[in-house]
């Protein structure tokens, strides 16, 4: 793996971007030359998702898409589980798994929000990791990937380490499981296997790896995003720079499935392969969309998050009808106009799962006051009262709140 110093690119983004999320986009740099595929399925049709910029709404209300109830789960706050920076949330097996990038830990809560166990094995010992690059849940166990030591750590449901596996010839930044295969998505760095965007590990025999989606040596060009996976049961969508092609991972194959056509706001082709600073300056100066920054999917919908230099957008694509709704903000009008926040929502078992820091409601209360709360609508008076309680809590000393709603079929 190549380690790259990005300070100049970050300073450039601060100068030219009008949105704080641009800093996040510059966290990793990489090239865009992904052209070939190791394996493909028989279905090679690519569906175009076309953005109609003349039909973008200010606000889209997603309340009709979900059931008229919401599960609200404040995560327990204790000295031994004060979450610093949420990196990933998984809801499975009647548990809520939360990765903490600041403390390099994984916390496990029950569905009432009570802490069940904590995995925190940071160190240089033989059974310790140097980073929680990513984690996933397989069966009842938890798998942690450490990109520094190139190891997989397998924990049982109680958080007890069962084994470790070396994976020295591959590299990834995020991971997911489909059946007995663990997939690592590579943002664009080198590996002993070569330049590939996707690797698989046979969980029955960890030394068996496959490589997918080859690309050219990236050098020091390009840019990246932290969110690159949209899993769904026995398949997943992944997306790599320039983030307008969504690749399907299914049945041991990886192939292009959707193309997001950004039309007049797509970064011109001559800049896509350019050195990162030049490409980003062109994107900010021309108010171009750099590509999908976040993708989430259900059986029926694909949620897309993207932005130009001035605005963020949410697109909701209906797989059945081909209809696409695009708005600057997507909110639930029956949940106090709660917005979908980039990288803070995902879908599991056809449930929309969101998490919000208490400080989110603190800020809303400071800006709107009592009158603002009264103007909003809620599913019930009890829910209104509960949200009002979050507004008055100390956001600096409280763990996030998980919200779960079932999507309508």
Asked if the structure places residue 62 within a domain, the reply is yes
Residue 10, pLDDT > 60, answer no
pLDDT at 217: 77
In angstroms, the Cα distances linking 361 to 60, 141, 345, 391 are 21, 34, 17, 5
More confident residue, 347 or 27: 347
Q: What is the pLDDT of residues 123-143, one digit of tens each?
A: 888 889 999 999 999 999 999
Asked which of 32-41, 97-106, 169-178, 297-306 is least confident by mean pLDDT, the reply is 32-41
Asked if the structure places residue 137 within a domain, the reply is yes
Asked if the structure places residue 240 within a domain, the reply is yes
More confident residue, 283 or 334: 334
Q: What is the pLDDT of residues 42-80, one digit of tens each?
A: 345 899 999 999 999 999 999 999 999 999 999 999 988
Range of the domain at 227: 7-406
Residue 104, pLDDT > 50, answer yes
Asked if the structure places residue 1 within a domain, the reply is no
Q: What is the pLDDT of residues 166-191, one digit of tens each?
A: 999 999 999 999 999 999 998 778 88
pLDDT at 302: 97
Task: State the pLDDT confidence band at 27, using cuts at 50, 70 and 90.
Answer: very low
Prior bond of 242 cis (ω within 30°):
yes
pLDDT at 35: 28
User: Residues 28, 280: contact at Cβ < 8 Å?
Assistant: no
Whichever domain contains 131, its CATH number is 2.120.10.30
Asked if the structure places residue 341 within a domain, the reply is yes
pTM: 0.86
pLDDT at 297: 97
- CA dihedral (58, 61, 65, 71) positive or negative: positive
Domain count across the chain:
1
Asked if the structure places residue 318 within a domain, the reply is yes
| Average pLDDT for the chain | 85
Q: What is the pLDDT of residues 111-125, one digit of tens each?
A: 999 999 999 988 888
Task: State the pLDDT confidence band at 242, using cuts at 50, 70 and 90.
Answer: low
Asked if the structure places residue 219 within a domain, the reply is yes
In angstroms, the Cα distances linking 297 to 110, 135, 300, 309, 353 are 24, 19, 8, 25, 12
From the list 225, 198, 226, 231, the residue with the least C-alpha distance to 297 is: 231
What's the mean pLDDT in 270-279?
A: 74
Q: What is the pLDDT of residues 349-400, one digit of tens each?
A: 999 999 999 999 888 777 777 777 778 899 999 999 999 899 888 888 899 9
Asked if the structure places residue 263 within a domain, the reply is yes
């Amino acid at each position: 793996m190549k380690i790259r110093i990005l300070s100049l690119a970050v300073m450039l983004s601060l100068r030219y971007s009008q949105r704080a999320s641009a800093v996040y986009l510059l966290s990793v740099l990489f090239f865009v030359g992904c052209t070939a595929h190791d394996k493909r399925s028989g279905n090679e049709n690519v569906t175009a998702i076309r953005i109609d910029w003349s039909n973008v709404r200010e606000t889209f209300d997603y309340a009709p898409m979900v059931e008229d109830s919401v599960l609200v789960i404040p995560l327990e706050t204790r000295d031994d589980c004060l979450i610093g920076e949420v990196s990933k949330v998984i809801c499975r097996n009647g548990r809520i798994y939360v990765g903490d990038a600041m403390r390099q830990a994984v916390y496990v809560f029950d569905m009432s929000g009570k802490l069940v166990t904590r995995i925190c094995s940071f160190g240089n010992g033989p059974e310790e990791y140097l980073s929680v690059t990513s984690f996933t849940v397989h069966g009842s166990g938890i798998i942690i990937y450490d990109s520094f030591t190139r190891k997989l750590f397998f924990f049982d449901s109680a958080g007890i380490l069962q084994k470790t596996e070396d994976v020295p010839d591959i590299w990834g930044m995020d991971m997911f499981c489909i059946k007995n295969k663990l997939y690592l998505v590579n943002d664009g760095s080198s590996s002993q296997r070569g330049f590939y965007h996707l690797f698989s590990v046979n969980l029955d025999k960890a030394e068996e790896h496959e490589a997918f989606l080859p690309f050219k040596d990236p050098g020091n060009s390009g840019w990246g995003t932290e969110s690159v996976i949209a899993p769904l049961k026995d398949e997943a969508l992944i997306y790599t720079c320039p983030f307008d092609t969504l690749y399907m991972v299914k049945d041991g194959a990886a192939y292009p499935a959707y193309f997001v056509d950004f039309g007049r706001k797509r970064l011109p082709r001559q800049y896509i392969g350019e050195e990162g600073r030049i490409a980003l300056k062109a994107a900010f100066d021309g108010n171009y969309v750099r590509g999908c920054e976040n993708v989430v999917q259900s059986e029926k919908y694909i949620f897309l998050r993207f932005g130009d230099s001035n605005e963020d957008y949410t697109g909701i694509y209906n797989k059945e009808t081909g209809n696409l709704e695009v708005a600057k903000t997507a909110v639930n009008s029956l949940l106090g106009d709660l917005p979908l926040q980039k990288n803070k929502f995902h879908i599991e078992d056809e449930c929309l799962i969101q998490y919000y820091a208490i400080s989110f409601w603190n800020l809303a209360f400071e800006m709107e006051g009592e009158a603002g709360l009264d103007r909003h609508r809620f599913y019930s008076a009890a829910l209104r009262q509960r949200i009002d309680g979050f507004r008055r809590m100390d956001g600096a000393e409280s763990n996030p709140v998980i919200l779960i709603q079932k999507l309508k079929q």
